[in-house]
Homo-oligomer: A and B are copies of this chain.
Amino acid sequence: MAAISESPVYRATTTAPVNIAVIKYWGKRDATLNLPTNSSLSVTLSQRSLRTLTTASCSANYPAADELTLNGKSQDIQSSKRTLACLASLRAHRQELENTDSSLPKLSALPLRIVSENNFPTAAGLASSAAGFAALVRAVADLYKLPQSPTELSRIARQGSGSACRSLMGGYVAWRAGELADGSDSLAEEVASQAHWPEMRALILVVSAEKKDVPSTTGMQTTVATSELFATRANAVVPARMTAIERAIQNRDFPTFAEITMRDSNGFHATCLDSWPPIFYMNDVSRAAVRLVHDINNAVGRNVCAYTFDAGPNAVIYYLEKDSEIVAGTFRSILGTELEGWSGPFYDAVKDIGSGVSLDQVDSRAVHVLKTGLSRVILTGVGEGPVSVEDHLVGEKGEILSTQ
């Protein structure tokens, strides 16, 4: 009896970035399809600092059920409706290709083995689901050699995690809420590339671990259902801000970009506080970061930095590279270089900066609160979208590898 010949293992590997919204996604008009109540806009952060690496593979050698391994841990894929929805859509697209070109291998019929790793600790409190689902969708789309554009793929990634649709592109990305009930017009698109405004930097202040108040999916449903101020935000305030911030991005107008970013973060957290029961994501450390950003802007007489807060206490502070000394220099001077995270490519480029504005010009109580309330910083900047790479997390014979 001849040895059974091994079937081939097909592989594709991609990286995908984290994105941080400046106009916040908060509220679903359809929870199953992940359709939002309002459009949102984010900055894609550089994968030189933060990225998910994902290999999608398929082979007739694999067990019949699809497999997913995240950060070394096998996941129960059947219990994740969102993952199943993404994979079903991707397989359907592959099947269309196979139906029109019978010479193609029937990959849609093969079990998948997907392996994914983040290069940043979950403990950093950064939403990893956006990068994770973007990488999963991009990797499987590459494995299947799908012709769909990133915007078309965003419709699939959105079903995994709403904000994931914005991680399929680099630079400045809008997620259009859309109007159709089936969500087919709820798509992400690049409103400006990284190259249009490459000077954008982001300093992430990671607040010492505290359990999240309310998970974001639950939180946004509570807000939509109970906040009496929310409809005004979704229907009137955000649409005007989307128009204004897109114009600011086109014009590389940082002061306007900054004000809209800060106001939208505040307005989002205001609707959380107005929810019933109320939701608090910002704490006293977050408030100290807000105060210091306003103090720095007041000290220099223009908006050189802007804070934004997602569904947690961490601050992300945007600024332009030319203002690195005023912004990163001031925060480094406040926080001290002993704090973890003053490292990496974006820091190496500016590490000789001075100490920024005089600490006489900023609130001393806020300095104390911030100094004692952070676990680390991450210095990064605007970056590109997913990149196809050869660092496979699945070997040629289908074995799971690890970069860790």
Within 8 A of B (CB), among A275-301: 275-278, 280, 283-284, 287, 290, 294
Interface digits, A143-156 against B, CB 8 Å rule (1 contact, 0 not)? 00000000000000
User: Chain B nearest CB: distance from A220 CB in Å?
Assistant: 16
Interface digits, A251-285 against B, CB 8 Å rule (1 contact, 0 not)? 00000000100110011011101111110100110
Does residue A88 face the partner (Cβ distance < 8 Å to B)?
A: no
CA distance A267 to B232 in the complex (A): 13
Does residue A229 face the partner (Cβ distance < 8 Å to B)?
A: yes
Of the listed residues A211, A259, A262, A284, the one surrounded by the most CB atoms of chain B closer than 10 A to its CB is: A284
Of the listed residues A267, A273, A287, the one surrounded by the most CB atoms of chain B closer than 10 A to its CB is: A273
Does residue A401 face the partner (Cβ distance < 8 Å to B)?
A: no
Interface digits, A349-377 against B, CB 8 Å rule (1 contact, 0 not)? 00000000000000001000000000000
A210 partner residues in chain B, CB cutoff 8 A: 365
**CB pair A228 B267 closer than 8 Å:** yes
**CB pair A287 B280 closer than 8 Å:** yes
Does residue A236 face the partner (Cβ distance < 8 Å to B)?
A: yes
Does residue A233 face the partner (Cβ distance < 8 Å to B)?
A: yes
A228 partner residues in chain B, CB cutoff 8 A: 232-233, 236-237, 263, 267
User: Chain B nearest CB: distance from A361 CB in Å?
Assistant: 16
A229 partner residues in chain B, CB cutoff 8 A: 229, 232-233, 237, 267, 270-271, 274
CA distance A211 to B233 in the complex (A): 31
Of the listed residues A233, A267, A283, A365, the one surrounded by the most CB atoms of chain B closer than 10 A to its CB is: A267
CA distance A269 to B229 in the complex (A): 12
Identify the A interface with B (CB < 8 A): 210-211, 227-229, 231-233, 236-237, 259, 262-263, 266-267, 269-271, 273-278, 280, 283-284, 287, 290, 294, 365
A-B residue pairs, 9 tightest by C-beta = A270-B274, A270-B270, A284-B284, A232-B232, A270-B273, A229-B229, A266-B278, A228-B237, A267-B274
